[in-house]
Amino acid sequence: MSTRFIALLICSFMPASLALANVVEHVGWQQAFEKYDAVGTIVVLDQRGKYGSNQQKEWVYNLERASQRFSPASTFKIPHSLFALDAQLVKDEFQVFKWDGVKRSFAPHNQDQNLRSAMRNSAVWVYDIFAKQLGEQKARQYLTQINYGNADPRMDSQVAENSSYWIDGNLAISAFEQIEFLKALYRNQLPFTLDAQLLVKDIMITEAKTDWILRAKTGWQGKYGWWVGWIEWPTGPVFFALNIDTPNRLQDLYKRQAITREILKSIEALPAS
């Protein structure tokens, strides 16, 4: 495993709370990106306590990009679900949102949804309802409370009226900041009820075996895509945040999980088979 330690200064455009002095640049992970012909970054924080007196290890591939902010796209459904629950726009995971009848390109969107299916299917139209009901001022308040990226839910006047601020608007977050947000959610330390945080973590479950659980969410802005989340082990969690360019659009989307899974397997954060 090829690695090199680097002392990192806090980037001028990142919150001062994100001190990166102990991050390890893992240049060997470049092979996974090259294998899938992808340009991007990944941050992995392993808190399984495997490293002696240092109980965690944080790696990054492509430090510069990991420090840059991008639209969160559908990874924003994680905090957005918390906002909706807190504001009582949705009562629980069973509340039904009636399909508006608008035919969308992804068939699973063209049906009634609840909170669980809206997360699983990435049904943007459900979250557009939440955004309209919350309004910009309340959204900004929530974003500021959880220190989420630049906490800016504004839309550019030149963007189409029916666009979503977490896809085509000003809201942006870095891979490092994604990790910080996920850590707080994992620890139930966000300014929301425990029940709300537990519910959102439950609907994030992507895969589970007897001794580990994978909770994650994909995102796609069009030009780039995300996969963020964590794997829970009895000894602790392993957090990850991947961001890649998607010049071939839909054809590139599988690479988000393929690259991440390969890297996580290399540190035994996911089983090899």
Residue 49 tokens, joined:
């306590």
In terms of pLDDT, which residue wins out, 208 or 272? 208
Tell the residue number behind the tokens 């509340």, with chain if given: 95
For residue 11, the SS3 value is: coil
Is residue 206 pLDDT above 60, yes or no?
A: yes
Question: Which candidate, 241, 182, 147, 174, places its Cα nearest to that of 10?
Answer: 174
Is residue 227 within 8 Å of 260, Cβ to Cβ? Answer: yes
Residue 209, CB-side half-sphere exposure with 13 Å CA sphere: 9
Phi and psi dihedrals of 93, rounded to 5?
Answer: -75, -10
Please give the Cα distance from 47 to 240 (Å, whole number).
11
Question: Is 204 within 8 Å of 216 (Cβ atoms)?
Answer: yes
Does residue 160 register a pLDDT over 70? Answer: no
Q: Residue 129: name the closest of 99, 157, 172 by CA.
A: 99
- 145, with CB counted inside 10 A (0-12, 13-18, 19+), is middle
Both structure tokens of 60: 């990054």
User: Model confidence over 43-85: pLDDT tens digits?
Assistant: 999 999 887 666 789 999 999 999 999 999 999 999 999 999 9
Q: Is the Cα torsion angle 62, 67, 228, 107 positive or negative in sign? A: negative
User: What is the band of 157 on the pLDDT scale with cuts at 50, 70, 90?
Assistant: low
Note whether 53 and 155 are within 8 A (CB).
Answer: no
SS3 178: helix
Edge to edge, the sheet with strand 4-5 lists 4-5, 24-25, 57-61, 40-46, 236-245, 224-233, 213-220, 205-208
- What element of type H or E holds 86? helix 77-86
Q: What is the pLDDT of residues 102-156, one digit of tens each?
A: 999 888 898 999 999 999 999 999 999 999 999 999 999 999 999 999 999 998 7
Q: What percent of the chain has pLDDT over 90?
A: 81
Q: Quick: pLDDT tens for 231-260.
A: 999 999 999 999 999 999 999 999 999 999
Is residue 161 very low, low, confident or very high in pLDDT (cuts 50, 70, 90)?
Answer: low
Report pLDDT for 142. Answer: 98
pLDDT at 198: 98
33 or 20, greater pLDDT: 33
pLDDT at 11 over 50: no
- In this prediction, residues 25-51 reach a mean pLDDT of 95
Query: What is the C-alpha separation between 93 and 147, in angstroms, rounded?
Result: 25
Q: What's the CA gap between 48 and 233, in Å, rounded?
A: 7
Q: What is the rounded CA–CA span in Å between residue 31 and residue 210?
A: 31
Active site residues: 74
Q: Phi first, then psi: give them for residue 261, nearest 5 degrees.
A: -65, -40
Question: Picking from 8-17, 115-124, 153-162, 205-214, which range would have the lowest pLDDT averaged per residue?
Answer: 8-17
Rounded to the nearest integer, the mean pLDDT of the chain is: 90
Predicted TM-score (pTM) of the model is: 0.90
